[in-house]
Amino acid sequence: MTRGHASASATAANADRQASERRVDASPLRALPEVSHLAYIALGANLADPLAQVRAAATALASLPASRLLSVSSLYRTAPVGIRGQSDFINAVAALATGLGALQLLDALFAIERLFGRHREYLNAPRTLDLDLLLYDDALIDSPRLRVPHPRMHLRAFVIAPLLEIAPQASIPGRGQAAAWLPAVSMQRIARLPD
């Protein structure tokens, strides 16, 4: 249930323009895939040099098949959610134009997590790398393996702030403008790191 390709391409073009205004276009010579969807992905890590993990994960996203990395937000240092006593997280959000289907993309994200040595020990456990699919065009997906929009994205400052940095007009299907959720997350500790 994604919107038409023309609209997806237009959105991708917008994100592309934003990317060139910012600083990341990891594959300038790679053409957009023929069938292009616009996906937003959350990156997070709080173990084993998380800054390096998140930066390397962005590079791994740029290498996904039939995909092109359009932009990556600044890195943010954020308070851990759920478990007390964990280290702070490093978070970012990336925009990806991709010819992969949503489930193919989820599997590709799992593969990158595995590459980075992610262990799924328990809910909200510390992790070397966590990748979440936030948005996929304006799709609403509710399947056993995948829920899009990510069901908790609107309640997390570490998603909303970096998402708005690279896509100020982003909307969350079923929940309205992402910017409208800023007040709801304003009490959560988050600091943008200098470039």
Q: For this structure, is 130 an active site residue?
A: yes
- Please say if 127 is a catalytic residue: yes
Q: Is 120 in the site for ligand AMP (CB under 6 A)?
A: yes
145, 152, 175, 189: residue in contact with ligand AMP (rule CB under 6 A): 145
How far, CA to CA in Å, does 30 sit from each of 10, 20, 27, 65, 122?
A: 18, 14, 5, 11, 39
Residue 148 or residue 161: which is nearer to ligand AMP going by CB?
148
Which of 68, 118, 138, 156 is labelled catalytic? 118
- Residue 150 makes contact with ligand AMP by CB under 6 A: yes
| Residue 143 Cβ vs ligand AMP, minimum distance, rounded to whole Å | 8
Tokens 């276009």 label which residue?
25
Interface residue with ligand AMP among 132, 137, 138, 165 (CB under 6 A) is 132
Contact window for ligand AMP (CB under 6 A) among 43-51, 91-99, 127-135, 179-187:
127-135
Q: Buried b / exposed e across 48-59, counting CB within 10 Å, b at 16+?
A: eebeebbbbbbe
The distance of closest approach from Cβ of residue 116 to ligand AMP in the complex, given in angstroms and rounded to an integer, is 12
Which range of residues in 93-101, 142-150, 154-162, 169-177 is near ligand AMP by CB under 6 A?
142-150
Active site residue 118: yes
C-alpha to C-alpha distance for 63 and 173, rounded to whole angstroms: 28
Query: What does the DSSP 8-state code read for residue 155?
Result: G
Residue 90 near residue 53, CB atoms below 8 Å = yes
Query: CA 109, 112, 118, 121 torsion: positive or negative?
Result: positive
Q: Which residues are marked as active site?
A: 118, 127, 130, 132
